Amino acid sequence: MSDIMKNNYIHDSLVESYFVDCKNRIITLNLLFDDNYDRVKSKIIFNNVLAHNFKDSIDFNIIFGIETYEFHQLNKFHKEDLIRIYNHGLPTNISFERQTNDEDKLLTLKSFLEENNYEIYNIDASLGLCGFVICKDVEIEYLEHIQLKKEN
């Protein structure tokens, strides 16, 4: 379990919005957790983003979990997405001989991520938004916490 999911207020949070800042390589998820006892507004900020792939974004996205993945896990569940992203220029900030074989593409990408200390975060949803983010680091900011009623 990643450090993100050790937090009590991420699981079952509503994604109110998310922003992709391409120039500064930042992705921000704006979340609202509300379980009738607590209402917590927070942000998850992915910094130094190399790539991301979000699917199934709807107007009511509920986060089930955000986990740190190893490359083999990402490859298992998102292989076609990785190859497509590689074919469109990932990673863009280095120069190397582009591979033509899919397995060589994945090995090249895996080596690059490991050598440059990138982390892979898989986003799973109970409803809506899911996908992954490849970045250098992530942080959580709490904006507001309102205790609605006491638990018995």
The whole domain housing 139 covers 4-147
CA–CA distances in Å: residue 81 to residues 28, 55, 76: 21, 11, 11
> Mind listing the pLDDT tens digit for each residue in 88-120?
877 665 555 667 888 988 898 899 999 999 999
3-state secondary structure 66-124: EEEECHHHHHHHHHHHHHHHHHCCCCCCCCCCCCCCHHHHHHHHHHHHHHCCCEEEEEE
Whether residue 41 contacts residue 143, with contact meaning beta carbons closer than 8 Å, is answered with yes
pLDDT score recorded for residue 41 = 96
Q: Looking at the domain assignment, is residue 139 inside a domain? A: yes
Q: What is the pTM of this model?
A: 0.88
DSSP 65: E
> Mind listing the pLDDT tens digit for each residue in 4-16?
656 678 889 999 9
More confident residue, 51 or 128: 51
Q: Looking at the domain assignment, is residue 152 inside a domain? A: no
Whole-number Å distance between alpha carbons of 25 and 84: 20
Q: How many residues does the chain have?
A: 152
pLDDT score recorded for residue 1 = 40
Domains of the chain: total:
1
Q: Looking at the domain assignment, is residue 119 inside a domain? A: yes
Average pLDDT over residues 131-136: 96
Average pLDDT over residues 48-68: 91
Q: Looking at the domain assignment, is residue 71 inside a domain? A: yes
Q: Looking at the domain assignment, is residue 35 inside a domain? A: yes
